[in-house]
Amino acid sequence: MDKSEAKKRVDKLRSEINHHRYLYHVLDRQELSDAAFDSLKNQLAKLEDEFPDLITPDSPTQRVGGKALAKFKKVDHRLRMLSLNDAFTVEELAQWEERLRRLEPRLKLEYFAELKVDGFAISLEYENALLVRASTRGDGATGEDVTENVKTVESVPLSLVGDIERISRVSRDIREILRQFPRVAKAVKNLPQRLEMRGEIYMTRAAFDAANREQKKKGLLPYANPRNIAAGSVRQLDPKVAASRKLDFLAYDLVTDLGLETHEEEHLAAKALGFKTVDLTRTCGDLGGVVDFWRAVAKKRDKLPYLIDGIVVQINRTADFEKLGVVGKAPRGAMAFKFEAEEGTTVLRDIIVQVGRTGVLTPVAVMDPVLIGGVTVSRATLHNQDEIERLGVKIGDTVIVKRAGDVIPAVTGVIEKLRPRGARAFHMPSKCPICGSKVIKKEGEVAYRCSNSRCAAVQRERIYHFVSRGAFDIQGLGPKIVDVLLDQGLIRDAADLFSLKKEDIAILERFGERSADNLIRAIAERKKVTLPRFIFALGIQHVGEETAIDLAKHFGDLPALARASMDELTAVRDVGAVVASSIQDWFQDSRHRALLAKLKEVGVRPQAEVRGAAPQALGGKTFVLTGSLRTMTRDEAKRKIRDRGGAVSGSVSSRTDYVVVGEDPGSKLTEAERLRVKTVSERDFLKLLG
Ligand code: IVH
């Protein structure tokens, strides 16, 4: 390929890559697979390698981040980077308006409100439409040059030219803006030589969760919040670090005067220039509208893809905003209208240890319930031993608890002055609280793990079994939710289910007030479970549903079963030496005894009588099932028989009363015919059930 051909190809590739970058990183639309996108970038990189003088500063290849710096250059901001004053209540907001009215009685105040993203402020400078510099706020007057890091953020445009037409082709929104706001259309077509845009670098919840999963895998400390990673990544001397993190940028402040008259127009211009902007905004004729918006946003807050800590309200008309001026470090014409602090203090009563899916031991704080951001919190993660040491927290301390959106609450500080006498230090146990195996810690890792690789899985499976249909049969509680509860440290064993509170669950993903209520109710209903179900739920090896029923009938209550001798056990139908010793072993294990005690403590009471809602129509009758039934599963059929006092057996004998014959019956039908046992069709069976 000669150079002129290469140039054509390079131009095409760049425009294609940039187009898909925009779709994906700004508009959240994907039209090309990741692999195809990467291959376009590779082709471009190869050509640029071959023809280095074709490289331009806005080429997509320039986003990778160059060499690590020794230190950041200082940048003097042409216009100070200000911050905002805060209001937390409607009253405080009204007082602000009052002050503005007193200051400028003649202004007709109109407001523009948008989300306040919880990230890190950055200023971007473009010259001849090319990004030439990105800087941090610093002290407001002087910041640091972090261009190389910020270039790695894909939603930051490296160039503003040529984009408008292309963008308006893919975004209907932007076509509309350009049509409805001629001043915006004109402004973006005649860009000045220099343009400065400010906004927030942030990390989405999804990227944050992914980053923390990575940390955990590596046995490293989790990040406290997305803002810390965003700030930390931008202020790394090695741009590779920023490149490896999925950062994002939202523009909110067009510093350069493009002849626009309102903040709303500036917001639209930013969007038309190819920047990502906040989707949720409102222009309000009065403060009432702002308050409505604030309330509406508060409701949606947990569902947004990124964390926000309030809304930003400003005087919409640019001229009025300017006229109001600056006091201290903040403009008079703007306010951060924040949400209730999601932090509270409470007393730490205990630290328990939860074993996660990967066998990692996580200390969980058990606290007096406290209302944080409208949610009652009684448990919070302490992450790991290092974090406990860093915080210097002791059992009995008054602690600061933070909750961010639907992230698990965490203990973030200790008020040492309030430490009571006798506060206890916490130590990681040397044995796994679940299986009793040795706890190990690998060199260089923060995490403590259970040395038994099956431990966490076994524990999980036990709880799945405990709540399953044949056991406690808790409506709406399947393995997925059990996983969430375990992973969030809300339960460690089945008994913990019964002390869950609605508030613990309502903040979890996939839950709301109503579904949390339903689950709590379903769990509470099961405190009175039948004895056979209770015995089956314990997961004793070799004790299936049928044996559990026989054991319940024979012993009548749990204590009798627990202290039964081998002889007493083997006297039960179908119980041989293997089953009997398995039962004895189970009850001898101190962890199992502790579980039973805990179940009792939380109010679980096995009911000796098999009291079904239905009359005992099948009392004393033994059934065998063969073939598949159309109207119910086999487990359902078994349960229905038992609920009516009947028994189910796996094989036909002379003692069998009925063989229920479904579709495709097996050898049991032949056997029934041979032994002249009565056979019934599904229809007759349904009649028998009533
Ligand atoms: S306007 C004078 N709009 O919040 C500063 N700021 O607490 C103009 N922030 O420094 C700020 N989202 O870092 C504005 N939509 C938004 C924002 C926003 C987040 C940050 C920004 C600012 C800080 C003030």
| Cα dihedral: 519, 524, 525, 527 (round 10) | 140
Annotation-wise, does 210 bind a ligand? no
The pLDDT score that the predictor gives to residue 350 is 95
Distance of CA 410 to the CA centre of its chain: 14
Question: What does residue 640 show for φ and ψ, rounded to 5 degrees?
Answer: -65, -40
The answer to whether the CB of 435 falls within 8 A of the CB of 455 is yes
The pLDDT score that the predictor gives to residue 51 is 94
The answer to whether the CB of 156 falls within 8 A of the CB of 134 is yes
Residue 612 pLDDT class (50, 70, 90 cuts): very low
Q: Is the pLDDT of residue 569 over 50?
A: yes
- The residue whose CA is least distant from atom 18 of ligand 1 is 116
Q: Which residue has the higher pLDDT, 232 or 364?
A: 364
Beta bridge partners of residue 370, listed in sequence order: 377
CA angle 568, 572, 575 (to 5 degrees): 100
200 lines ligand 1 (CB under 6 A): yes
For tokens 């500063």, name the residue: 57
Beta bridge partners of residue 277, listed in sequence order: 251
Annotation-wise, does 511 bind a ligand? no
Beta bridge partners of residue 145, listed in sequence order: 135
The pLDDT score that the predictor gives to residue 83 is 92
Question: What ligand 1 atom has the least distance to the C-alpha of 311?
Answer: 15
The pLDDT score that the predictor gives to residue 404 is 61
List the alpha helices (DSSP H) in 274-330: 287-300, 318-324
Ligand 1 centre and the CA of 315: distance in Å? 14
Distance of CA 404 to the CA centre of its chain: 11
The pLDDT score that the predictor gives to residue 203 is 93
Ligand 1 centre and the CA of 220: distance in Å? 31
- The residue whose CA is least distant from atom 21 of ligand 1 is 121
Residue 239 pLDDT class (50, 70, 90 cuts): confident
The pLDDT score that the predictor gives to residue 585 is 92
Q: Which of 160-164, 533-537, 571-575, 635-639 has the lowest mean pLDDT?
A: 160-164
Q: Is the pLDDT of residue 374 over 80?
A: no
Question: What ligand 1 atom has the least distance to the C-alpha of 336?
Answer: 7
Ligand 1 centre and the CA of 143: distance in Å? 16
252 lines ligand 1 (CB under 6 A): yes
The answer to whether the CB of 184 falls within 8 A of the CB of 260 is yes
Q: Is the pLDDT of residue 623 over 90?
A: yes
Annotation-wise, does 31 bind a ligand? no
Q: Is the pLDDT of residue 136 over 50?
A: yes
Ligand 1 centre and the CA of 551: distance in Å? 68
pLDDT (mean) for 592-621: 80
For tokens 């190990």, name the residue: 440
* Alpha-carbon span 672 to 662, nearest angstrom: 14
Question: What kind of architecture, by CATH, is found in domain 3-55?
Answer: Orthogonal Bundle (1.10)
Which of 137, 312, 326 has the most ligand 1 atoms within 8 A of CB, as the residue to mutate? 312
pLDDT (mean) for 72-98: 93
Q: Which of 287, 255, 304, 266 is nearest to 116 (CA)?
A: 304
82 lines ligand 1 (CB under 6 A): yes
- The residue whose CA is least distant from atom 16 of ligand 1 is 116
Task: Please report, as a single letter, which amino acid is at residue 279.
Answer: D
Own/partner contacts of 129-134, CB < 8 Å, gap of 24 or more, are: 129/159, 129/160, 129/161, 129/191, 129/195, 130/57, 130/58, 130/158, 130/159, 130/160, 131/57, 131/58, 131/156, 131/157, 131/158, 131/159, 132/57, 133/75
Q: What is the 3-state secondary structure (H, E, C) of 130-160?
A: EEEEEEECCCCCEEEECHHHHHCCCCCCCEC
pLDDT (mean) for 418-442: 92
Burial class of 674 by CB neighbour count within 10 A (0 to 12, 13 to 18, 19+)? exposed
271 is annotated as an active-site residue: no
Question: What ligand 1 atom has the least distance to the C-alpha of 115?
Answer: 15
Ligand 1 centre and the CA of 84: distance in Å? 7
CA angle 153, 158, 159 (to 5 degrees): 155
Distances (CA, A) of 172 to 176, 182, 235, 265: 6, 16, 36, 17
255 lines ligand 1 (CB under 6 A): no
CATH superfamily, region 530-607:
5' to 3' exonuclease, C-terminal subdomain (1.10.150.20)
* Alpha-carbon span 184 to 165, nearest angstrom: 14
Around Cβ 174, how many Cβ atoms within 10 Å? 22
Residue 400 pLDDT class (50, 70, 90 cuts): very high
311 lines ligand 1 (CB under 6 A): no
Residues in CB range of 205: below 8 A, 6 or more apart: 226, 305, 306, 307, 405, 407
Annotation-wise, does 309 bind a ligand? no
Question: What ligand 1 atom has the least distance to the C-alpha of 86?
Answer: 7
Question: What does residue 498 show for φ and ψ, rounded to 5 degrees?
Answer: -80, -10
| Cα dihedral: 448, 452, 454, 459 (round 10) | -70
Q: Which residue has the higher pLDDT, 573 or 682?
A: 682
Residues in CB range of 408: below 8 A, 6 or more apart: 380, 381, 488, 489
Task: Please report, as a single letter, which amino acid is at residue 325.
Answer: G
Convert 500-513 to b/e letters by CB count within 10 Å (16 or more is b).
Answer: bebbbbbbbeebee
Distances (CA, A) of 75 to 134, 158, 196: 9, 19, 14
Question: What ligand 1 atom has the least distance to the C-alpha of 121?
Answer: 13
Q: Which of 259-273, 510-524, 569-583 has the lowest mean pLDDT?
A: 510-524
Ligand 1 centre and the CA of 116: distance in Å? 6
Determine the CATH number of domain 456-526.
1.10.150.20
pLDDT (mean) for 345-367: 89
Which is catalytic among the residues 116, 402, 640, 668?
A: 116
- Tokens, residue 498: 């019964």
Kindly report, residue by residue over 627-673, the tens digit of the pLDDT. Answer: 999 999 888 898 888 888 888 888 898 889 999 999 999 899 999 99
List the alpha helices (DSSP H) in 147-225: 147-151, 163-170, 172-180, 182-189, 205-217
Distance of CA 127 to the CA centre of its chain: 41
Ligand 1 centre and the CA of 311: distance in Å? 9
Kindly report, residue by residue over 576-590, the tens digit of the pLDDT. Answer: 999 999 999 999 988
pLDDT (mean) for 516-529: 93
Annotation-wise, does 432 bind a ligand? yes
Annotation-wise, does 536 bind a ligand? no
Q: Which of 237, 491, 531 is nearest to 378 (CA)?
A: 491
Which of 83, 314, 322, 329 has the most ligand 1 atoms within 8 A of CB, as the residue to mutate? 83
The pLDDT score that the predictor gives to residue 513 is 76
* Alpha-carbon span 101 to 182, nearest angstrom: 31
Residue 28 pLDDT class (50, 70, 90 cuts): confident
Choose which CATH entry (3.40.50.720, 3.40.50.10190, 2.30.110.10, 3.40.50.880) describes domain 622-689: 3.40.50.10190
The answer to whether the CB of 654 falls within 8 A of the CB of 676 is no
526 lines ligand 1 (CB under 6 A): no
pLDDT (mean) for 121-132: 96
- The residue whose CA is least distant from atom 23 of ligand 1 is 83
- Tokens, residue 238: 């090695």
Task: Please report, as a single letter, which amino acid is at residue 495.
Answer: A
Q: Is the pLDDT of residue 614 over 90?
A: no
Same fold for the pair 86-338 and 622-689: no
Residue 236 pLDDT class (50, 70, 90 cuts): confident
Ligand 1 centre and the CA of 114: distance in Å? 10
Annotation-wise, does 137 bind a ligand? yes
Region label for 219, one of left (φ > 0), alpha (ψ between -120 and 50) or beta (otherwise) = left
Residue 611 pLDDT class (50, 70, 90 cuts): very low
Distance of CA 409 to the CA centre of its chain: 11
Question: What kind of architecture, by CATH, is found in domain 86-338?
Answer: 2-Layer Sandwich (3.30)
The pLDDT score that the predictor gives to residue 520 is 94
The pLDDT score that the predictor gives to residue 224 is 63
Which of 122, 136, 200 has the most ligand 1 atoms within 8 A of CB, as the residue to mutate? 200
Kindly report, residue by residue over 173-230, the tens digit of the pLDDT. Answer: 888 998 999 999 999 988 999 999 999 999 998 898 888 888 777 776 667 678 878 8
116 lines ligand 1 (CB under 6 A): yes
Annotation-wise, does 284 bind a ligand? no
- The fraction of the chain above a pLDDT of 90, given in percent, is 61
The answer to whether the CB of 665 falls within 8 A of the CB of 629 is no
313 lines ligand 1 (CB under 6 A): no
The pLDDT score that the predictor gives to residue 333 is 97
Q: What is the 3-state secondary structure (H, E, C) of 341-360?
A: CCEEEEEEEEEEEEECCCCE
**For the chain, what's the residue count?**
690
Annotation-wise, does 141 bind a ligand? no
- The residue whose CA is least distant from atom 10 of ligand 1 is 83
253 lines ligand 1 (CB under 6 A): yes
247 lines ligand 1 (CB under 6 A): no
278 lines ligand 1 (CB under 6 A): yes
3-state helix, strand, coil in the chain (%, to 5): 40, 20, 35
Q: Which of 354-358, 411-415, 461-465 has the lowest mean pLDDT?
A: 354-358
Annotation-wise, does 455 bind a ligand? yes
* Alpha-carbon span 198 to 251, nearest angstrom: 6
pLDDT (mean) for 259-287: 95
Beta bridge partners of residue 361, listed in sequence order: 355
Ligand 1 centre and the CA of 183: distance in Å? 25
Distance of CA 354 to the CA centre of its chain: 18
pLDDT (mean) for 289-306: 91
Distance of CA 310 to the CA centre of its chain: 20
Q: Tell me the average pLDDT of the chain.
A: 89
- Tokens, residue 377: 């919190």
Q: Which of 205, 100, 268 is nearest to 281 (CA)?
A: 268
The pLDDT score that the predictor gives to residue 202 is 95
pTM: 0.58
pLDDT (mean) for 361-370: 90
The answer to whether the CB of 569 falls within 8 A of the CB of 575 is yes
84 lines ligand 1 (CB under 6 A): yes
Kindly report, residue by residue over 480-508, the tens digit of the pLDDT. Answer: 899 888 877 788 899 999 999 887 787 77
* Alpha-carbon span 496 to 477, nearest angstrom: 14
83 lines ligand 1 (CB under 6 A): yes
The pLDDT score that the predictor gives to residue 409 is 86
* Alpha-carbon span 276 to 458, nearest angstrom: 47
Determine the CATH number of domain 342-425.
2.40.50.140
Ligand 1 centre and the CA of 658: distance in Å? 76
Task: Give me the residue spans of the domains in the chain.
Answer: 3-55, 86-338, 342-425, 456-526, 530-607, 622-689
Question: What does residue 599 show for φ and ψ, rounded to 5 degrees?
Answer: -60, -40
DSSP secondary structure code for residue 190 in this structure: S
The pLDDT score that the predictor gives to residue 613 is 47
DSSP secondary structure code for residue 24 in this structure: I
